[in-house]
Amino acid sequence: MYFAVRQNDKAAFADQIAKISKLTWAQIRLQDRHALGTEKHPPGKVKFKLPTHYTEDTNILCFRFSGRKPMAGYKDGAVFHILAFDRNYTLYNHG
């Protein structure tokens, strides 16, 4: 499915990925969740379809990429797989 993405969101995403990729997972865990850090969400708390190979013991991780807009995905070894961009803050409870 294609949807329009604002140019500033594209640039912010690329900038954030470049910054995060220079950190180790241990360093990422020490960062603020609204900066270069992440926040975990347990299975069943996200409002999007997970891949069939996703296991229930793997948490969804969210990184911020444009202001406070999160990108959601999961970690597999050293790789972060992006599953969704939450540009409208509707993929999970942000309360």
Span 25-59, pLDDT tens digits:
999 999 998 899 999 887 778 887 777 777 777 78
Closest CA to 15 of 62, 65, 56, 49: 65
| Cα–Cα distance for residue pair 52/63, rounded to 1 Å | 22
Residue 15, pLDDT score? 92
Residue 75, pLDDT score? 87
Confidence of residue 2 (pLDDT cuts 50, 70, 90): very low
Closest CA to 58 of 69, 42, 36: 42
Span 58-89, pLDDT tens digits:
788 999 988 888 899 888 888 888 888 888 88
Residue 5, pLDDT score? 64
Residue 4, pLDDT score? 55
Residue 63, pLDDT score? 92
